[in-house]
Amino acid sequence: MSKDPNTIYVGTKPAMSYVLAVITHFNSSDVKEVSLKARGRAITTAVDTAEIVCRKFLKELKTKKITIGTEEMQREDGTRNVSTIEIKLKR
């Protein structure tokens, strides 16, 4: 995953933490688009974050594109496939 300044990587924090990050990105500068990226169990948090932001806080936002995929992760006990999602929100 690349390090884009308008990308928020969703992990184990509560959804409202990421909601605040999205709102901060859109309000801090001339940002027109923010991406939410997540893997595995964090996918549900990323979807919740996008829905909360679009329905409750920044109602002018639209979901531009949703990309799903699979990544292979190397582990001590072998290779494991992990689902990924990228949600692009556009003003």
Full set of structural domains in the chain with CATH: 7-90 (3.30.110.20)
Q: How far apart are CA 55 and CA 28, in angstroms?
A: 20
Would you give the DSSP letter of residue 78? E
AA identity, residue 20: L
For the stretch 16-72, pLDDT in tens is: 999 999 999 999 878 899 999 999 999 999 999 999 999 999 999 999 999 999 999
Look at the alpha carbons of 49, 86, 10, 30 in this order and tell me if their dihedral is positive or negative: negative
For residue 9, CA distances in Å to 18, 34, 76 come to 9, 11, 24
pLDDT score, position 2: 55
Q: Which residue has the tokens 């999602």?
A: 85
| pTM of the predicted model as reported, rounded to 2 decimal places | 0.91
Give per-residue pLDDT as tens, 63-90.
999 999 999 999 899 999 999 999 999 9
**Residue the block writes with tokens 């190397």:** 74
